[in-house]
A and B are shown apart, each in its own frame.
Chain A
Amino acid sequence: MADLTSKLTQRISKTQGQSPQRKFPRATGLVLLVAAVILLGAFPLLPFVNNYLIDVGFIVGIYALLGLSLNIVLGEVGLFDLGHMAFCAIGAYTTGILFHQLHLPIVILLPISAIVAGGFAYLVTSPVIHLRGDYLCIVTIGIGEIVRLVLQNNPGGLTNGPNGIGNIGNPDFGLFSIQSPAQFYYYIWIVIGLVIIGLINLQKSRVGRAWNYIREDEIAAKANGIDVRSFKLLAFVLGAAIAGIAGNIYASKYMFIEPNNFSFMESALLFCIVLLGGLGSIPGSLLGAAVIVIFPEIFRQFASYRLLFFGAALIVMMIFRPGGLWPRRREGLGFAGLGIAKLPRDENALLAEAPVPPRPGTVPLKTYRLPPVTVAMSEGLTLETKAITLKFGGLVAVSNFDMSVATGKITSLIGPNGAGKTTLFNVITGIYRPNKGKVVFQGRDITKLKPHTIIGAGIARTFQNIRLFPSLTCIENVMSGPHCHAREGTWPAVFRTPAQAREERRIVELASYRLNQVGLWAFRNELAKNLPYGKQRLLELARALATSPSLLILDEPSSGLNDKETEDLMAMLQVFLGEGFTMLLIEHDMNVVMGISDWVTVMDMGSKIAEGPPQEIYNNPLVIEAYLGKEED
């Protein structure tokens, strides 16, 4: 038994790192797409297809629509939602109830159901959206059950309890109404087509990328100025709205709904659809829906055990192919996969055309979120910390710390292990709030601001342990930099407005420029996780630069690099210094500190013990003592 599991473990490690092979060239993909559309369209007209089969096609459609809606939450953002049918139920019951109470036509009720379901999602997920993965999962199960039970218990006589609501009408468009199986079949697949177009547009936009950044590494996303909470809520609201649409269409076809249509088992099936199909993969969700519906049709004797097989399939998937049956492909698509309009076919031409980014400190900020400039700053300072004190319980991590970072210079913060350097950085970037003291940035008091606002104010940071977005390409990683300065939101993304297209173009140009500057242009379409360590460091640097920061904070940038790589890093930092960037470093490699710093501040046991130009620090007895220890008595 031990042998078996260790072999399995080895298999996983091998398959984990693999990016899915590019099986077919793009032209074949297009041909397949056209063939699929034609097949779908012609299906009801084929000779052997009777009404029963057309209805099966309809059901596949419903599950596909639901799968796509869950895919936004689960696939794109990575939030585990096991109560998704609740939103479908809200949509269906909104349709049923308002149809009977207010006699609104079904067609009008479609957008209304979407809005109600979306609004409901906003209300119930807002208080819990910050919970971590497995807890959120449990909460969504709870929400799903609460909705079902409320519907069952018939509060105020609204829902008719376990007897359900019947006599719901068919959609009536005035000139024609949808009644026959074939009409419903085309109805739902047209809706699915429209939804897919919108979803693809979203996927290949700043919004879709933000969702993926959150899924890959939430902390890094926050550190790049992404408002994680808002994007998570957005995903839930959109997913719920689409589920609500599915609920409306379902109700209008079967004309009868009852609480057990929306049970946990259905939510579990949706979950399987998205996971088996592939997280974040639109064709995967369609494929998953088809498998879930058609499997019990073919294997009649196993129909009632389908969840058993799918459960086993989940386990097998997680062991051997966590990406799903039709995983979302990223690399190998090149820039075309980004979906930006009117890109030159030659990506190198794009690079050549990319304008030089503006000098640091000249990028317009989202000023509506920042406090006004009120604090007088000394000439030539970008950042000042004044008397920062931070305690964890009884332990004083940072004590009365004053530090200044001069504009256009490199300041290094050094000190022995455990001195509190990273803690101080975390105070500056808003992850911790100090007990006392202020952080002043360009005349603004930023002490109490949230991390993503501070990034938007013009501070960027890199991490000691490198936090990239591993399953995204290098160019996509760097494109997260300009995110916080961009303005075009969800609806411009869905409808591809010209303003949004222009903004996307500017984003990719800026990202290309920075990527090229650190020497990684050749790797632009590689997945970040496949890069060697030294290049990953540079990628993180490029991403930080792409935020056009007024202050760049680097946490141990040379950590893990060999001598040659460290030299290259130092040369690169000199280039950025020449461009006018202001930098603050934590470093342990003293050659780096002594080699490029203009100013060195020394920290020990939470306090400042010395500061000055590097040469002074090198000979300062207090500093030597802090590192090497006191003379033995």
Chain B
Amino acid sequence: MDTLIQQLINGLTIGSFYALVALGYSMVYGVMKLINFAHGDLFTLGSYIGYTVLVVGASWVTATFGIWGGMAIALVAAMIGIGVAGLVMERIAYRPVYKAGRLPLVVSALGMSFVISQGIMAIWGPNPQAYLSGWTPKDFLQFGNIRVPVLQIAILVLALGLMALIYWLVERTTFGAAIRAAAQDRDTATLMGINFNLIIFFVFALGPALGGMAGVMQGLKYTRISFNMGWLYGLKAFTATILGGIGNIPGAMIGGLLLGVMEALFEGYVSGAWKDVFIFLILILVLIWRPTGLFGEKTAEKV
């Protein structure tokens, strides 16, 4: 039973990373009808930015702000850095290609994915890096027989908090309604006075920013980061997106958490070596049998 709870907590943690990345996919897809293949690599870039900030400024930051301050700075740096990266990426690789059609856009996105991941390798080297243990707290909280690291709790709280914030933003505010309206029907939204370029700006800044922060959290929790981890992560997060229904923001969150838990349980009770195969099979089966996801595709419907 204790192992089960342990697994669940682990599953929720990694699931929340999937959820944050999945949010980015869903947001961009909902508005632009584009699967941003480079999104997983933005996640990786975020983790490397956090790493660099901490490596470069470690002693000063930790001395001035303490461990928690250091982590916060890394997160903020990734959030801003990847937000900007997302905007630049849209301008360079996507905007000039919209006219060429859907498939050239997919190719451009793939090209961008290669550029980012290989660029990371070029800058930081092909060997995996590690977030140093000095950067994170080591305390545990004890619940009966279960020991949960404070770090994990903090990360989980932060991730869930971000998700709640995005949920509130998209589903409960007027601006969120405008995003949803623009995703459904660009022309009619323009008639309402919604500036579509502003919407693009928003989703290409916010989606990647979330992914970047998830990257830092991944580094803090699991320490090891490598230049090509984004590819696998992106694929799994995409599975979560499809699970929740592409374009569906709350669905992406639930899909991510669900996927994380399923993966953790599978790893714990069946096999660690086959867990990725398990996830990919879920992806393929969902696409075959229920392509609109568990909660239905929230893109434009015939009115």
Contact = CB atoms under 8 A, between A and B. Distances in A.
Contact of A315 (B35, B108, B117, B238): B108
B288 interface: yes
Nearest to A215: B103
Contacts of A36: none
Nearest to B276: A149
A135 interface: yes
Residue of A133, A152, A307 contacting most chain B CB atoms (<10 Å): A307
Contacts of A275: 107
B80 interface: no
A1 B88 CA distance: 10
A327 B192 CA distance: 44
B283 interface: yes
Nearest to B271: A153
B151 interface: no
Contact of A78 (B103, B277, B280, B281): B103
Interface string B85-107: 00000011101110110111111
Interface stretch (A9-17, A95-103, A228-236, A351-359): A9-17
A135 B287 contact: yes
B290 to A, nearest CB: 13
Contact of B103 (A133, A264, A307): A133
A315 B235 contact: no
B266 interface: no
B126 A304 contact: yes
A123 B238 CA distance: 24
Interface string A326-344: 0000000000000000000
A307 B238 contact: no
Interface in B240-288: 273-274, 276-277, 280-281, 283-284, 287-288
Given A139-B283, A304-B126, A305-B122, A315 B277 contact: no
Question: Secondary structure of the A side of the interface?
Answer: helix
B249 to A, nearest CB: 20
Interface stretch (A140-148, A244-252, A416-424): A140-148
A557 to B, nearest CB: 26
A73 interface: no
B295 interface: no
A131 B110 contact: no
B110 A314 contact: yes
A278 to B, nearest CB: 13
B114 interface: yes
B149 interface: no
Contact of A311 (B96, B110, B288): B110
B270 to A, nearest CB: 12
B99 A13 contact: yes
A318 B111 contact: yes
Interface residues of B, number: 43
B113 interface: yes
B106 A134 contact: yes
Contacts of A5: 91, 95-96
A145 B281 CA distance: 10
A307 B103 CA distance: 20
B291 A133 contact: no
Contacts of B97: 12, 318-319
Nearest to B302: A392
A258 to B, nearest CB: 16
Contact of B115 (A80, A308, A317): A308
Contacts of B283: 138-139, 142
A9 B291 contact: no
A430 B5 CA distance: 54
A12 B263 CA distance: 44
Contacts of B291: 131, 135
Interface of A: 1, 5, 8-9, 12-13, 16, 78, 80, 82, 127-128, 131, 133-135, 137-139, 141-143, 145-146, 149-150, 152-153, 264, 268, 271, 275, 304-305, 307-308, 310-315, 317-319, 322, 392
30 contacts: A5-B91, A5-B95, A12-B97, A16-B99, A127-B288, A128-B288, A133-B106, A134-B106, A138-B35, A138-B287, A139-B284, A142-B284, A146-B280, A149-B277, A153-B273, A268-B110, A268-B114, A305-B121, A305-B122, A308-B118, A308-B119, A308-B121, A311-B115, A312-B115, A314-B108, A318-B100, A318-B105, A318-B107, A319-B108, A322-B100
Q: List 6 A-B pairs, minimum CB-CB distance, nearest first.
A: A311-B114, A314-B111, A308-B118, A142-B280, A8-B96, A315-B111
